[in-house]
Amino acid sequence: MFAPPRRSAGTQYARRRPSRPVTPELSVARVTLDPMLDHLGIQVGDPAASAAFYDAVLAPLGARRVLDFGENIGYGRSEPDFWIGPTTTPGNARECHIAFTAPDRATVDAFFAAAVEAGAEVLHEPRLWPEYHEHYYGAFVRDPDGNNVEAVSHVPA
């Protein structure tokens, strides 16, 4: 697996923490002021196909390519939080599940439409998933490498 460039307090990619307090509205949206993950990277078999897929499906979520680092691409809203890079290890890849946060249900629907337009296999069309919680609204598709990619909103309709 590749190692994206390290971020530190002195770089333009330093993790910025929101300065506003957690409100009930933010709690419902599951916003955290102290994220557990700094970034996540996955290996892809066809970097060009995966880049086209993620360019399309992340745009409705407000994310874009933030950094091209050699053959690796970092996506995010303001800094690279999600990375794709070419497969560098032998053997078959294993499926992973990646869930991207959406601010509302319309954005989940837009993610799903962009994924279908990009040729993604549909796993689950957008709907409520009450077995997770009463406001869990998500859509699931497969990316070009077979990963289960989801957009989810936790906000009431």
Share of the chain above pLDDT 90, in %: 69
Mean pLDDT (whole number) for 93-115: 95
| Residue 108 scores a pLDDT above 50 | yes
pLDDT band at 30 (very low <50, low <70, confident <90, very high): low
Residue 119: both structure tokens together = 């040729």
Spell out the domains of the chain, with CATH numbers in brackets: 24-153 (3.10.180.10)
In degrees and rounded to multiples of 5, residue 36 shows phi and psi of -75, -40
pLDDT in tens, 76-87: 999 999 999 999
Q: By three-state DSSP, how is residue 112 classified?
A: helix
In degrees and rounded to multiples of 5, residue 120 shows phi and psi of -70, 145
User: Given this model, what pLDDT does residue 8 score?
Assistant: 41
Contact 77, 62 (CB under 8 A): yes
Closest by CA to 130, choosing from 98, 157, 103, 102, is: 157
pLDDT band at 33 (very low <50, low <70, confident <90, very high): low
Predicted structure pTM score: 0.77
